[in-house]
């Protein structure tokens, strides 16, 4: 029994935090989210100088595709992790965040995730709250 309210995420056999989604998947999504944000910024800059060229489709589909390929539990884990990264929840409130993510965003979790500003940074901060450095995750 934990003395922390809400409880921390369970640990796997190696003592690593088990978030309900593989760390490599989270790292790949962080990379895709950051790349999408850069592409969006470049597109916005290009729209200011060349509105015709800016109408080309951005290369952000990779992030959305990755999110759509996740199961519901993995998507809920990403939402909860983003909330931890944003400071809405502490790591010891993981189960509460995860349950609310499942309940509140069951209709379109991928859509919710892609609507978050700086998703990559939020997820990286969420990992950091659990002592996980995204740059050290093997992809």
Q: For the chain, list residues with pLDDT below 70.
A: 1-10, 12-16, 39-61
Q: What are phi and psi of 17, to 5 degrees?
A: -65, 135
The pTM score is 0.78
- Buried b or exposed e, range 21-51, using 16+ CB within 10 angstroms: bebebbbbbbbbbbebbeeeeebeeeeeeee
State the CB neighbour count (10 A cutoff) for residue 120: 23
Question: Domain limits of the chain?
Answer: 23-136
Could you report the per-residue pLDDT of 91-129, keeping only the tens digit for each?
A: 999 999 999 999 998 889 999 999 999 999 999 999 999
Q: Which two tokens stand for residue 136?
A: 């050290």
Q: Could you give the CA distance from residue 78 to residue 12 in angstroms, rounded to a whole number? A: 18
Predicted confidence at residue 7, as pLDDT, reads 57
């Amino acid at each position: 029994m934990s003395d922390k309210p809400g409880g921390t995420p369970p640990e796997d056999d190696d003592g690593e935090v088990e978030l309900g989604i593989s760390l490599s998947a989270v790292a790949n999504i962080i990379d895709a989210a950051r790349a999408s944000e850069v592409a969006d910024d470049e597109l916005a800059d290009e729209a200011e100088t060349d509105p015709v060229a800016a109408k080309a489709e951005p290369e952000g589909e990779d992030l959305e595709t990755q999110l759509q390929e996740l199961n519901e539990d993995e998507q809920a884990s990403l939402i909860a992790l983003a909330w931890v990264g944003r400071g809405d929840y502490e790591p010891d409130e993981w189960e509460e965040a995860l349950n609310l993510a499942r309940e509140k965003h069951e209709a379109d979790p991928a859509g919710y995730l892609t609507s978050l500003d700086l998703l990559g940074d939020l997820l990286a901060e969420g990992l950091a709250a659990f002592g996980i450095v995204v740059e050290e995750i093997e992809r």
